Chain A
Amino acid sequence: MKIVIAGIGKFGKFLTKELSKENHNITIVDSNQSLVDDIVDQYDVYGCYGNAASYDTQKDAGVADCDIFVACTPSDEANILCCLVAKKLGAKQTIARLRHPEYAKQTQIMQAELGVDLSLNPDMDTAEEIFRILRFPSATKVETFANGRVNLIEIKLEQDSTLTNKTLADIRTKLDVPILVCAVRRGNDVIIPKGNFELLENDYVYITADNRQITKAFKKLKLLKNTLKSAMIVGGGRITYYLADLLVDSGISVKIIEKQKDTCNLLSELLPNALILHGEGTSNKLLLEEGIEDVDSVITLTGLDETNILISSYAKSVGVDKVITKVGREVYEDILTTIGLDSIVSPKEIFANNIIKHARGMENTEGAEFKTLHRLVGNKVEALEFGISNATSYTSIPLKNLKVKPNFLIACIIRANEVIIPSGNDTLEPLDSVVVVTTNTNVKDLSDILE
């Protein structure tokens, strides 16, 4: 597919990297020549210089016949203008990064008058992701399918966990809980496990489960930790605002530490129910004074990765249960896990994943409807949700008779309001949604998973 990316900042660069892996024809546009040259040297893409909002530059970049146009310059207004021009030139789909919530609310006018088909707010998405993890403290990561009805949860197995040293067959037969282990990360390897696979301590396991039964199941597995009551957020950017809003609404007490006085004032105006503290987040005196040892969770959201990592490690060392770290630059996830930080969120990754999902959905117009895509374990594993619209060659056949390729797993079937954790006798039916987990990162249609 032909994709034009306007604006090569942190987001644009990461998006270029991820999309070029998917074998698209990509053109990048930026006014900074040396930046463009640098990207063209690194990835197999075409570079264009100039003002991305100008008609001439967009024409040079071939926007007229592109399938997806992504505007991710730093300015919302510029992004809207870029999309408007792109749409007029003939771009099929336009996507803008819009960080002002007011803009995101005006969907109607955005699409009809301003040519923005899809607006993405990575700050909001990041806040939501953090919120999901906080609601489920034993998980290091939570993704949802089928409008939140199915969860995909990453947990780290401790020595005393019920799942440790059990094979998958044991879980099904002996423990009798409605969950499915669909991927395991052990060290740097990722495994799509079979029935005789044994889980070990320190494995990161990915579990799918019905949202309504998950609490019960986790209680049985003794995985459930107490729900959170308090959160300390370091850094007061946009993500902090969105997150604090969500947390306050669900009754969690929030403390925010921010070093800029003006930002503090603004936050206290916007979030009357949160406690805003003016001070340096790296000062352990302040952190201790404000009771970092007693809060349930610490979320580091400053603009500096180093600061975030430092404060998070400190929070871990004083015994905070749940620590979430925002990382903006290339994540060296392995390093961060070795120092004990396992809940990591990256706004640009969330942004890129959203667009990749969109691109895959556009590519797959014939087969099963493409609904959701989550990428896990440093993007080595993908979990995809497809909606089956018609009867096909693979419907109404018991799963045990379907020849599924190795490294593929049907993790979940959603039929009407029912969530089925599949066994060999279940079948796929028209109108079902299916969640597939795989280490193969180029799946476009449901039929791709069959031999």
Chain B
Amino acid sequence: MNTRLVFKTLGKILQVLSVLMCLPLIISLIYFEIDMLFAFMVPIISSLFFGTLLTSLKPKNNRMYAKEGCAVVGLSWVLMSLFGCLPFVISGMIPNFFDAFFETVSGFTTTGSTIISDIDVLYDGYKGLLFWRSFTHWIGGMGVLVFVLAILPSSEGQNIFLIKAESTGAKVGKLVSKVRVTARILYVIYLVMTIICAVMLAFDPTMSVYDAVVHAAGTAGTGGFGVRGLGVGYYSNYCQIVIAVFMMLFGINFNIFYLLLIGKVKDVLKSEELRWYLIIIIIATVVIGVDIYFDAKLAYDTVGGALKDSYFQVSSIITTTGFATTDFAYWSNFSKTILFVLMFVGGCAGSTAGGLKVQRILILFKSGRRELKKIAHQKSVQNIKLEGKTVEDDVAKGVTSYFAIIMILFVIVTLLISLDGFDFESNVTAVAACINNIGPGLSHLVGPMGSFAEYSGFSKVILSFTMLIGRLEIYPILLLFNPKVWTNK
């Protein structure tokens, strides 16, 4: 392991983080929250200091391989969360360190699980911090290393491993030949779409410009931190629909947007993953819409109202955002089970969404079908095809083992947090929400109107790492705990 290079790169990331933290500081000052100056200046200066200290390291060579890439990504996300949670602790908004760490990890991993039980009292006086909370979604959505690659000059061309370790999906490719240009294209698409979303939201009178920006950041990163106790339900139907549509868009592979930009519409229409993603959304929306419309307890007047709530929630859960317009903890078990399944499906590969990703689900199904055929025709040879191209056996195997590891971690983490003594539904859906980076669970305790505040510090740390594992797709985080990687033997 080229430890010096790893730490040097971490130094660069800390420097970038300190610059990024200036933005919420400015927002604080705009709203005259002068006492926040100290809360932000401490982490800004300290991360700049440590960052500069680390960048002065002189690595023996600049070769970054898969191992180094994974280590940089894993460590940087933990470090960013440690520095990023300082403003919450120092300002006293979230005095407990574990709570603040959980909240920040939840932000960066675009989970959106919160430990804040009453957000409305914080709305006035903590605008800068609440913006930072949502801004972490935006940074984490596309990935901070992708951002670093896009803006900093790099000497070596081997940074593909950084993007590979941070991006999502079974197979990560580039858009154009240069990693840097790829990173820039991704960020430009990301930024422009976020701005469009914010502008469209700001048109609505129920939404202030501040709320529009915060929600656009949360939508873009498919994060889900809101600033109102009622969630998105606080705003008009127009806002709800805009957010629902944009959540769905941010769950689409960014390659698709690039193809649209360069005019290859035909290739977009051919995309198998996109087609299934949309089919799943439509079916889930209709089924849940019908189910909740006929549910007497929920008392929907019109089909439209039921469909709107159903669409919003489906879009929010499948893209692993976690915004809510209604407390779906009250929905029937059937609808809740559909949402639970959608939690694991997740968005498309190469989007800001979490979960397993539609691409992996497709490969899993196709592998299953192949095995079934093997029983009938033992000698049959059949390639798995996706997007018209053969999926290599290595990739298919990678997907099945990824699924297996996620399931094993899911069981272990559920077991660990069940020590706190809460009910089964809360525990299971809380872990599912964390590992898939969704946010709220499905029970009253951890649902959209609840919070994770009740869990013990131990559980919060466990859940924090679960979120990181989910966002970074297991390996960069697990690698950090493997001592063999760090010794040079």
Question: Whole-angstrom distance between the alpha carbons of A42 and B160 in the complex?
Answer: 8
B177 pairs with A46, CB closer than 8 A: yes
Could you tell me which residues of chain A, from 3 to 60, have a CB within 8 Å of some CB in chain B? 20, 25-27, 33-34, 40-47, 49
User: Would you call B160 and A41 a contact (CB within 8 A)?
Assistant: yes
Determine if B295 is an interface residue (Cβ-Cβ < 8 Å). no
CA distance A321 to B402 in the complex (A): 61
Q: Is A43 touching B174 in the complex (CB atoms < 8 A)? A: no
Q: Which of A263-300 contact B (CB under 8 A)?
A: none
Which residues of chain A come closer than 8 Å to B454, judged between CB atoms? none
Tell me, rounded to whole Å, the shortest Cβ–Cβ distance linking B42 to chain A.
38
Residues on B with beta carbons closer than 8 Å to the beta carbon of A43: 157-158
Contacts of B176 in A (CB 8 A): 25, 46
Contact of A34 among B173, B174, B389, B392 (CB under 8 A): B392
Kindly report which residue of chain B lies nearest to residue A34, judged by CB atoms: B392
The answer to whether A44 touches B389 (Cβ under 8 A) is: no
Cβ-defined contact, B177 with A45, below 8 A: yes
Chain A CB count within 10 A is highest, among B161, B177, B178, for B177
A49 with B177: CB separation less than 8 A: no
Closest chain B CB from A243 CB (angstroms): 37
A25, A34, A40: which contacts B160 (Cβ < 8 A)?
A40
Q: Report which residue of A26, A42, A46, A47 has the largest number of chain B beta carbons within 10 angstroms of its beta carbon.
A: A46
B179 contacts chain A at the CB level, 8 A cutoff: yes
CA distance A40 to B157 in the complex (A): 10
Residue numbers in B under 8 Å from A34 (CB-CB): 392
Whether A27 touches B177, Cβ cut-off 8 Å, given contacts A33-B392, A49-B389, is yes
Smallest beta-carbon distance B384→chain A, Å? 13
Cβ contacts under 8 Å, A20 to chain B: 157
Name A60's closest neighbour in chain B (CB-CB). Answer: B267
Query: Could you tell me the distance between the alpha carbons of A34 and B394 in the complex, rounded to whole angstroms?
Result: 10
Residue of A25, A44, A46 with most partner-chain B CB within 10 A:
A44
Which B residues, 153 to 187, have Cβ-Cβ distances below 8 Å to chain A? 157-161, 173-174, 176-179, 181
Which partner residue on chain A sits nearest B156 by CB separation?
A44
Smallest beta-carbon distance B154→chain A, Å: 9
Q: Which residues of B contact A46 (CB under 8 A)?
A: 174, 176-177
Kindly list chain A residues whose C-beta atoms are within 8 Å of the C-beta of B392.
33-34
Whether B161 pairs with A44 at a CB distance below 8 angstroms is: no
Nearest opposing residue in chain B for A28, CB measure = B177
Least CB distance, B83 to chain A, in whole angstroms: 30
A44 to B182 alpha-carbon distance, docked (Å): 11
Q: How far is the CB of A135 from chain B (nearest CB, A)?
A: 40
Chain B residues in 8 Å Cβ range of A45? 177
- Taking the closest CB of chain B, its distance from the CB of A413, in whole angstroms, is 36
How far is B66's CA from A41's CA once the two chains are assembled, in angstroms?
A: 9
The smallest C-beta distance from B95 to any residue of chain A, in angstroms, reads: 46
CA distance A49 to B178 in the complex (A): 18
Q: Are A25 and B389 in contact (CB under 8 A)?
A: no
Residues of B near A27 (CB, < 8 A) are 177
Contact partners of B181 in chain A: CB under 8 A? 25
Query: In angstroms, how far is the closest chain B Cβ from the Cβ of A61?
Result: 10
Residues of A within 8 A of B179 (CB): 44
Q: Roughly how many angstroms separate A25 CA and B181 CA in the complex, as a whole number? A: 10
How far apart are the CA atoms of A45 and B174 in the complex, in Å?
Answer: 9
Report the Cα distance A157→B373, complex, angstroms: 72
- Interface residues in B74-132 (C-beta closer than 8 Å to A): none
Q: What B residues does A44 contact at CB under 8 A?
A: 157-160, 177-179
Determine which residue in B159, B160, B181, B390 has the highest number of CB atoms from chain A within 10 A of its CB, and name it: B160
Q: Nearest Cβ in chain B — how far from A89, in angstroms?
A: 15
Contacts of B174 in A (CB 8 A): 40, 46
Per the bound structure, the CA–CA distance linking A167 and B177 in Å amounts to: 48
- A41-B161, A44-B159 given; 13 more Cβ-contact pairs under 8 Å: A20-B157, A25-B177, A25-B181, A26-B177, A40-B174, A41-B66, A43-B157, A43-B158, A44-B157, A44-B160, A44-B178, A46-B176, A49-B389
8 CB-based A-B contacts, threshold 8 Å: A20-B157, A27-B177, A40-B174, A41-B158, A44-B157, A44-B160, A44-B179, A49-B389
Question: What 8 A-B pairs come out closest when comparing CB atoms?
Answer: A44-B157, A46-B177, A25-B177, A45-B177, A26-B177, A44-B179, A44-B178, A46-B174
